[in-house]
Structure 1
Amino acid sequence: MIASQKIGKSFLGALNYNLKKLYHPDQNKRAELLDSSFASTDSRMIQQEIRLIKTLKPNLNRYVYHTSLNFSIEDELDNNKLLSIAHDYLKESGYTNNQYMIFRHHDAPHPHIHLLVNRISFDGTVVSDSNNFKRSEGITRKLEQKYNLKEVQSSKETLLKAAKIGEIERTLRTGKPSDKLLLQNKLINILNLGNITIKELIERGERQGIHFLFNQATTGKISGITYFHNGFKIKGQALGNRFKWAELIKQINYEQIRDGKAISEANSRTRTNYGNQSWPIREAKPNRYGGNRDNELYISGPADSYFDDGGSREADKIGEEGRSKPQRDFETGEDVYILHDDSPIDRDNSHYDSYGFEISNDVDDEAMHGRNRKKSQGRGIGR
Structure 2
Amino acid sequence: MIGKIIAGSSFAGTVGYVVKKQSRILAAEGVTPPNVREMVQDFKDQTLLNLRIKNAVGHISLSFSPKDSVRMTDALMLDIAKEYMLRMGIMDTQYLLVRHLDQPHPHCHLVYNRVGNNGQTISDKKIKIRNAKVCRALTEKYGLHFAPDKESVRRERLREPDKTKYEIYDAIKAVLPRSRSWEELEKHLKAQGIRMRYKYCGSTNQKQGVLFSKNGFEFSGSKIDRQFSYSKLNRHFTQTQQQTRYWATLAKGFHAVIGNYRSAYTGLFGNIGRSGNKGQVDADSINFGGNIGTLPLPPHDSPVGLSAAQLQRKPGESPKEHIARITALLNSVAEAMAIAAMEQKCRQRERKTKMKL
TM-score by length of 1: 0.48
Shift of 1:190: 2.0
SS of the counterpart of 1:83? helix
In the TM superposition, what whole-angstrom CA distance separates every residue of 1:182-210 from its partner, at most 9, and x where no partner exists? Answer: 6633322324xxxx4x446567x49x967
Instruction: Show the counterpart of 2:43.
Output: 50
Amino acid at match of 1:108: Q
Change (3 A) 1:182 1:101: closer
2:113 paired with 1:118: yes
Instruction: Show the counterpart of 1:363.
Output: none
Instruction: Show the counterpart of 2:73.
Output: 78
Change (3 A) 1:163 1:234: farther
2:96 paired with 1:92: no
2:68 paired with 1:68: no
Q: Any conservation in 2 of the 1:56–1:124 contact (CA below 8 Å)?
A: yes
Once the two structures are overlaid, the 10-residue window that deviates more, 240-249 or 39-48, is: 240-249
Amino acid at match of 1:14: T
Shift of 1:17: 0.6
What is the alpha-carbon distance in structure 1 between the residues aligned to residue 148 and residue 17 of structure 2? 26
Instruction: Show the counterpart of 1:17.
Output: 17
SS of the counterpart of 1:36? strand
In the TM superposition, what whole-angstrom CA distance separates every residue of 1:77-136 from its partner, at most 9, and x where no partner exists? Answer: 111111111111111111221111110001110110111101111111111111212212
Q: How does 1:158-307 map to 2 (within 5 A)?
A: 162=151, 164-166=153-155, 181=170, 184-191=173-180, 196=181, 198-199=182-183, 205=188, 213-215=195-197, 224=210, 226=212, 240-241=224-225, 242-243=227-228, 248-252=233-237
Q: Any conservation in 2 of the 1:33–1:103 contact (CA below 8 Å)?
A: yes
Amino acid at match of 2:59: H
2:138 paired with 1:143: yes
Instruction: Show the counterpart of 1:33.
Output: 25
Shift of 1:236: 6.8
What is the alpha-carbon distance in structure 2 between the residues aligned to residue 236 and residue 94 of structure 1? 28
Question: Any stretches of 5+ residues in structure 2 without a counterpart?
Answer: 157-166, 239-357
TM-score by length of 2: 0.51
Amino acid at match of 1:34: L
2:2 paired with 1:2: yes
**Structure number with bigger Rg:** 2
Change (3 A) 1:47 1:151: closer
In the TM superposition, what whole-angstrom CA distance separates every residue of 1:8-47 from its partner, at most 9, and x where no partner exists? Answer: 441111101112x2x2xxxxxx111111121232233223
Q: Any conservation in 1 of the 2:56–2:115 contact (CA below 8 Å)?
A: yes
Percentage of matched positions with identical amino acids:
24
SS of the counterpart of 1:107? coil
Q: Any conservation in 2 of the 1:236–1:243 contact (CA below 8 Å)?
A: no
Amino acid at match of 1:95: I
In the TM superposition, what whole-angstrom CA distance separates every residue of 1:245-275 from its partner, at most 9, and x where no partner exists? Answer: 565445446xxxxxxxxxxxxxxxxxxxxxx
Q: Any conservation in 2 of the 1:2–1:140 contact (CA below 8 Å)?
A: yes
What is the alpha-carbon distance in structure 2 between the residues aligned to residue 96 and residue 234 of structure 1? 34
Amino acid at match of 1:50: F
Question: Any stretches of 5+ residues in structure 1 without a counterpart?
Answer: 24-29, 156-161, 168-177, 254-383
- Count of aligned pairs: 220
Shift of 1:137: 2.0
Change (3 A) 1:138 1:182: closer
Q: Any conservation in 1 of the 2:63–2:106 contact (CA below 8 Å)?
A: yes
Aligned residues: CA RMSD: 3.9
Amino acid at match of 2:117: F
Q: How does 1:313-328 map to 2 (within 5 A)?
A: none
Shift of 1:73: 0.8
Instruction: Say which structure is richer in helix.
Output: 2
What is the alpha-carbon distance in structure 2 between the residues aligned to residue 39 and residue 234 of structure 1? 38
Change (3 A) 1:245 1:234: farther
